[in-house]
Structure 1
């Protein structure tokens, strides 16, 4: 265990709901559900008041209404949530030496070595106060020796809390907690371990390494280390340059707008799938056109965080229409998605019906099993990337 490390995990409290409450203080103290505006919708987020009734994200809206019929249901606005996320990131980036944007609503901060100049707990407290003061949004944090323990500390003190788990207190803090509290431990693994009588972290920490690796492979070793408070994963510096993209050069220069539109659709579907495979969302899309005379023109647009095919395809085609003003042959088109953060489970749930969300999951399972080109929409079937 790296006892000399000082890692802060900062996480917004019910982020989407908090943004709505900032806009409409009349929602304070009420059960609020984002994304369940129709019976066929899916819950994207909910307030702590709604969670008391068993409501949680990704739950079908009709079930949420049964559990909490008196809740305030809102469609949600991913554009506003994305802007609020950037607000918070900008505040933190100006004040810390090393920051990782782990998702739309959480950050890791490495303060190691700064304890010589600042008390890390005092500085983290002041950071939290600054975010609350400048944005009007609630935030919690955990401070500990690594990312895993700091994140678990945050989860234990939410909402609107702060918790410091120093090195000597890591194991006593972890031992009584449910294994469900370990970041990255999925539902299937939880059931498998629970069926074996492993329900508390203390019990898990005592399982022999060979048993865990035989049961869960490399993931078993990782979970065993986390149960002992061990995590060597670094805080990865936040960079807007992180991106994923593709481009296609035509066999012969073309001005066939229908064909190019279908090509863009296929290209975006391919990289959006890759994005979801990496459990990422993007906040920027860039389109490039190369004309037959080798002139390159590029345009980009900031977008609400998403990894959804339909949103990205529409924006790519909009950028193409903005760029393609000359009656010149095109030899290449390229699409790039950037400003990536973790957040697969938050993919525009508020704008999707339960059936649409299930469809995207089903299509991704097919691609994951048989390859990214194994399924496509009809208009792109004759396109070769």
Structure 2
């Protein structure tokens, strides 16, 4: 079968070497004669996997010792509710930055638990930028960011809020660039972008902040319960954690987060340059806030959009159709996507421009 170039927004593309190791482990994990899918999560072998994965997270992101690394279930969507359930107390309010679809979902869930103040929004320009000017109440329980907006194609590069605990949904750009974990009190991220298959949610949280959580919380929604039980209060997402471990080992071999960040910058620059050059396409996000992970762009008309989607599919390019409410195109450039795939997409755009231009000339004649 011809090679496919997978630009899908999620679940993510994974390195082929990781897929091969994971596939073998489904049949016979580590020569045990058992599948990773059926091994006990209480076994020493799997406890070692959890520990190794935690240590890899700490190493790759330079997580300080006074932070906990947790593996939960339910995706970022569960975190939308779990965060305010733990930290939004009566008489307090939480501050949220509204930068798009998933930020709106987080705001909606938080309002079930207390007062929410939207300190800034980019809705006025269809979420094409990241607001960088807003007044923050220093009495807020926390401020919540969505670091990368997968649908709108914007990314936050400056977390300048101070004096208030900072919580961030990093589902779609975690491990894609260097961050200073000390800038955050809690980070959460669904695994299915740059970490591994869906089913696991990473949480990195300052222990001092976790200790401030409300007392009466259901056990399955209490971060402290999972911290105190090595993320295994109940049966964890065994396969997702195992594949995340393999993927983080792969990332370490690529030069870690610093090494992959340079490649991600190169990939994004190449594609944005073609979007800006090619008269058939135009970007949707303000240049200063363009995402490196999810490149969103539109065609000049519906004929071009439909024609290029078909042309791209013929070149083995998949997953570039824009989100259903937006249309156009979205090319996700997650860590495992090679530069060569971006080159195929860029060449396809340039080739289609020539084909479309020649066709237009002939029709005019």
Normalising by structure 1, what TM-score? 0.29
Higher strand share: 1
Normalising by structure 2, what TM-score? 0.30
The structure showing larger relative contact order (alpha-carbon pairs under 8 Å, at least 6 residues apart) is 2
Structure with max Cα Rg: 1
